[in-house]
Structure 1
Amino acid sequence: MIEEAKAFAAKAHAGQKRKNSNVDYIVHPIRVAKTLKEAGFPEEVICAGYLHDVAEDTDYDLSDIERRFGTEVKEMVAAHTEDKSQSWNARKTHTIETLRDAPLEVKALIIADKLDNLQSLSEDLEQEGDAIWIHFNAGYEKQKWYNESIAEVMEEGLEAEEVPEFFHTYQELVKQTFD
């Protein structure tokens, strides 16, 4: 099922590029899924890692994901999917609130995604400096608020031994990027 999810995501994101680059978009879901796999999550979570942006950013929808990968994968992707008809603030506030109360698997999916986004941003900042912020719908202050809020709520409801190591990596990168 994991290879099928990877192939489906590659097909769905074909021709798409990462923001501010010529890198094929599929590189992002591959890295998210890799983070989840390395942290020991089950195949449904890894599949959701590959598929997490499909319903949000392609012509496929959640029913397509459910038909091919089952309800569990669809529900994780749905929990992560933003409603693009909402404002940036409304979407990000919804993600923060979802993260606060989500089960570990959904928290891991969201943080693996945010970690990869922040790693890419960090690389762009090294290369381009603060000029990078003009490419975002929300500039430095809003990105700082969003990422710090994610870091603040991501461990809520979890026991210390449940927290994946990459959550700590995310926290450190938030501090490095926004302090």
Structure 2
Amino acid sequence: MKPLFASSFLLLVAGCVQTPQYVVPANVPQAQIRSEMDVTNNRRNGASLSQAPVMDCKFGRSVAVTPGGQLFSVDNKATRPEGFRAVEAGKPLHLVLQGWASGNRRCTVDFVTAFAPGARYVVKGGIADGPDEIGGCQLSIFDLDSGARVLQAKPSQKANGCALDGLSSTR
């Protein structure tokens, strides 16, 4: 019975591993960003905005070689961290918003954007429940000085050239 308990405990702890926090590379231009995301008031709803992991081809398949770093997480109307945080500016960043809601609903917004050095931005959106959509993700980024919405482009779907990526995963 003890080995079963020990293995169950390890699985439980492994499921609680947190995403590493986003770290601005050294000696790069920076911008400031703040979250005003919302996930509606429900303890089962949440959202996370992170830098996408870096992918590469290993053993014939695309795999993450560097994990993405989390910028913000939101649950039950609390955003962590609060206030502004630094992000790399002057080059495109691949970001991913992942949301989850009660009823096993999940959504993702995957995009590339760029921030101007020295500028300040606010992220708005999160889980959207409305007459046309239930539990979907929405995200907009605004320049605080001009009020202009920041362009969000679709990420490149360029394959890494991995031979096994195109094969069906069913057997």
Q: Which has the higher contact order (CA 8 A, sep 6+)?
A: 2
Structure in which a larger fraction of residues adopt strand: 2
Task: Give the TM-score range, shorter chain.
Answer: under 0.3
Q: Which protein shows a greater Rg?
A: 2
What TM-score results when the alignment is normalised by the length of structure 1?
0.26
Q: Which has the higher helix share?
A: 1
TM-score (norm 2): 0.27
